[in-house]
Amino acid sequence: MEASSSSHVLTALLSLFIFNSHMNAISATGVAGKPSSTEFIRTSCSATTYPTLCITSLSSHASAIQTSPKLLAHTALSVTLDTTQSTSAMMVKLSQSHGLSPREVAAMQDCVEEVGDSVDQLRKSLGEMNQIKGSNFVLMMSDIQTWVSAALTDVDTCSEGFSGNNMNGNMKNVVRGQIVNIAHLTSNALALVNSYASTLRG
């Protein structure tokens, strides 16, 4: 009975998180950008690994991005950081849920640590992006690329922890879905950062 109650609580928590994420995405939608800015995002996203996700995550920011590769990369990092922080908070709550086996708790705690490291790396990348100056551009972009790559590695490591038999059932599927989502967002952000770096180096 306790396990069943625990399962209901977990399902409710997961549903609430997904609903909040959806509402946040809706509230983030501002005034639609001009066709040129929307087209700029669409064209830029075509060079990423997950272009559809790239377009849907960034199109609501078209009016702010306009046609700036820097603002596009900055916004991609910001969206990825926000989503990763939300996922991290969700996982901390779930790791403290009753009814988890010791193996499940261990897998969740490892993942919480990895995602937390990813948040730190993304935060540093965003901070550095805000400080970029022409004279130190190459060095600063190299740091940003290194940190975003490290963030992606951390999230991938977390995702691998859910691919085996450490967790079972609905929670595993939903949590893994969220982890895969932030891995894809991070991959896209890295591609856009690399594109911005190559544009100015050229």
Q: Which domains does the chain have, with CATH numbers?
A: 77-199 (1.20.140.40)
pLDDT at site 164: 64
pLDDT at site 71: 95
How many CA atoms, within 13 angstroms, populate the side-chain half-sphere of residue 190? 21
pLDDT tens for the chain, residues 1 to 202: 444 555 666 665 566 565 555 444 433 333 444 458 999 999 999 999 999 999 999 999 999 999 999 999 999 999 999 999 999 998 888 888 777 778 777 888 888 999 999 999 999 999 999 988 777 888 999 999 999 999 999 998 888 776 666 566 677 777 888 999 999 999 999 999 999 998 765 4
d(CA 154, CA 119): 10
pLDDT at site 168: 63
pLDDT at site 9: 60
Whether the model clears a pTM of 0.75, i.e. scores above it, the answer is yes
